Amino acid sequence: MVSFENVKFGFVPPQYPLDLVLETSLYSEKKGLDSIWMADHTVGIGIKNWDFYEAWSVLSALAVQTKNILLGTCVSDPHRRHPAVLAQTLMTLDHLSKGRAMLGLGAGEAMNLVPYHIAWDHPVTRLREAAEVIIKLLTEDFSNYEGKFFQLEKAFIRPKAVQNPHPPIYFGANSPKTMRICAELGDGWIPVGTFMKPQDYREKFEKIKKMAKEAGRDPEKIEPAMFNYMVVAKDYDTAFKLVEFPAKMLLAGSYDTLKEYGVEPPKMKLDVLHFVFNPETMMEAAGEVMKMPVKPIEDRFIFGSPDDCIDKIAKYVEGGVRHFAMALYVPSRLNRETLELFVEKVVPYFRQ
């Protein structure tokens, strides 16, 4: 029997409005959740509403209103902020929170970069270099670095972070190249669960642990986490009605997933490397997305009644996940009541 001991549950706040972001985050701490993970986006993910607040500002506000809950991004990219600025931002949050800051890093998404003409060529190389620069600045007195995209000369960040040697860095790594970066530099792995079943997660994390050993690292020091979209409702049918379209929208961007189910990819590119949100793209995407089958949603999304969600989460725990970052995939008006169902009917099962 798989043990649920030390399994952590985090909350990804809604993207709008601000009062709801703060209210649900403070409720999460009050109810004993382990972490808050802010998506670090320029724009929100949605069908019509793309409002979004700057992640580090919100986390700073939460840092002074909370006492115990961990605070981090899921995930930041290395393109919109120079890694020196990101290192200083992380250090500042660590001081404001008295040692509760975390950093999630990923290769980037078109929606946050392309409309603003922010350069993100060679995203994997930029990701590795940024992570190396951040770690050097947080751990060394003076740093020199010579990379393709980033350089340092007698650079420093002071004061140092509260956490020693630095706040943990989690990588949102789904590809072999980014998984290797996680294995060599990461304190945690936090991929998007939508694109992998429990067995896929186990197999990928085993690869990361193997690569960590090859790099001379202790693989047990890499925390296996996961970002998940979830809809918990009073019954299965209600949850499915809420999750169907947004789930299909996400799955349409994963061509490997579509191939597994024998589904022809949409004519327009809906993956994170290409898709941006605006009225024109959403109208075109909506027509493509609703053609998709239901089976991938049933296999890859955590949704349904509390018991349904417990069963699905338990399978991911069996697959090796030890820290969940849960984004409630519901309209803002339903976020609070959905969070209450999750906290009161789902989480207690894993903490008995």
* CATH number, domain with residue 218: 3.20.20.30
- Looking at the domain assignment, is residue 86 inside a domain? yes
Give the mean pLDDT of the chain.
Answer: 95
- Looking at the domain assignment, is residue 331 inside a domain? yes
- Looking at the domain assignment, is residue 57 inside a domain? yes
| pLDDT of 43 above 70 | yes
Predicted local confidence at residue 256, as pLDDT: 87
**Counts of helices then strands in the chain (DSSP H, E):** 12, 11
Helix (H, G, I), strand (E, B) or coil at 175: coil
- Looking at the domain assignment, is residue 289 inside a domain? no
Q: Cα–Cα–Cα angle for 276, 277, 279, nearest 5°?
A: 130
| pLDDT of 1 above 80 | no
pLDDT digit string, tens, across residues 80-128: 999 999 999 999 999 999 999 999 999 999 999 999 999 999 999 999 9
Written as six digits, the tokens of 341 are 């169902």
pLDDT digit string, tens, across residues 101-111: 999 999 999 99
Residue 28 phi, psi (nearest 5):
-60, -40
Q: In what helix (H) or strand (E) does residue 298 lie, and over which residues does it extend?
A: helix 295-300
Euclidean distance between CA atoms 270 and 256, whole angstroms: 13
- Looking at the domain assignment, is residue 166 inside a domain? yes
- Looking at the domain assignment, is residue 249 inside a domain? no
pLDDT band for 324, please (50, 70, 90 cuts).
Answer: very high
- Looking at the domain assignment, is residue 231 inside a domain? yes
- Looking at the domain assignment, is residue 274 inside a domain? no
CA-closest candidate to residue 350, choices 33, 37, 69:
33
- Show the domain range for 154: 8-238+301-351
Predicted local confidence at residue 198, as pLDDT: 94
Mean pLDDT is lowest, of 157-166, 217-226, 293-302, for 293-302
- Count: domains in the chain: 1
Question: Looking at 136-186, which runs of residues are DSSP E strands?
Answer: 143-146, 151-155, 169-171
Secondary structure letter of residue 192 according to DSSP: B
